[in-house]
């Protein structure tokens, strides 16, 4: 599995993928910025002034309250962006998903029969659906993440397991639907749920590493194409 991931990262230097990488970085930055702005806007709507206890604290601390509250607010926006980014960054895939698969299969799997073309709209609709599910699941699980702060590293384990399942399923089905019917893809995924889960957790790990996460959609797609076509999975 790690060797497959390593092969996926080394292929980023291939000429067909170089142009895609630039778009991936730009798209990831845009998604991250929009996510941070959205989180900031939603949090800013919380009427903290109406909480009696905070009013007394602000009067007691004076200017220090403003400084600490702003720092806490910025940190919370950063943490939530970090937690939710893996679930939404795949929205950029619609722009270059088909090109990535073509580049990988042309080099490593030239003997495969022609696959079904997946349009921009189809990929975007699928990634949008998964993004919404992932956002809802993580928002619901957020209180649990917070409670498990007192039991490290249980909060991180839960985060990677939950998002690994969702991300692994998303990328596996996106790649699989170019060659099989939905029922066949779902059956193949269930028969290899352990591999797909581990693959998803590795992808989420990449998505939570600064700078590397900007390339994560491309690496994840290449990685999943290799995994999907591996003899162990199809044997």
Contact 231, 195 (CB under 8 A): no
φ and ψ at residue 126, rounded to 5 degrees? -65, -45
User: Side-chain half-sphere of 47: how many Cα atoms within 13 Å?
Assistant: 3
The radius of gyration of the chain from alpha carbons, rounded to an integer in Å, stands at 20
pLDDT tens digits, one per residue of 135-152:
889 888 888 888 887 888
H-only helix segments in the chain: 2-10, 15-44, 52-61, 63-88, 97-108, 120-147, 154-176, 182-191, 193-207, 216-228, 231-234
Token couple for 113: 């029969």
234 within a domain of the structure (yes/no): no
235 within a domain of the structure (yes/no): no
> How many domains in the chain?
1
Higher pLDDT, 111 or 49: 111
Residue 154 belongs to what domain range? 2-228
233 within a domain of the structure (yes/no): no
pLDDT tens digits, one per residue of 193-207:
999 999 999 999 999
Mean pLDDT (the chain) is 85
pLDDT tens digits, one per residue of 171-183:
999 898 888 888 9
């Amino acid at each position: 599995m790690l060797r497959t991931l390593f092969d996926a990262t080394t292929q980023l230097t291939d000429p067909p993928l170089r142009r895609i990488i630039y778009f991936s970085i730009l798209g990831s930055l845009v998604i991250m910025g929009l996510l941070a702005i959205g989180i900031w806007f939603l949090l800013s709507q919380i009427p903290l002034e109406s909480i009696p206890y905070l009013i007394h604290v602000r009067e007691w601390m004076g200017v220090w309250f403003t400084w600490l509250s702003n720092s806490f607010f910025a940190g919370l926006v950063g943490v939530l962006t970090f937690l939710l980014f893996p679930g939404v960054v795949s929205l950029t895939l619609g722009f270059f998903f088909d090109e990535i698969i073509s580049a990988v299969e042309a080099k490593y799997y030239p003997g495969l029969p022609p696959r079904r073309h997946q349009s921009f709209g189809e990929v975007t609709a699928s990634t949008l659906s998964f993004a919404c599910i992932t956002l809802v699941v993580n928002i619901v699980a957020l209180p649990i993440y917070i409670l498990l702060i007192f039991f490290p590293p249980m909060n991180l384990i839960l985060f990677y397991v939950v998002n690994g399942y969702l991300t692994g399923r998303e990328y596996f089905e996106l790649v699989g639907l170019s060659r099989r019917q939905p029922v066949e893809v779902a059956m193949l995924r269930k028969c290899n749920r352990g591999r797909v889960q581990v693959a998803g957790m590795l992808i989420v790990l990449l998505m939570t590493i600064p700078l590397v996460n900007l390339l994560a959609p491309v690496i994840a797609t290449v990685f999943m194409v290799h995994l999907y076509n591996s003899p162990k999975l199809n044997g």
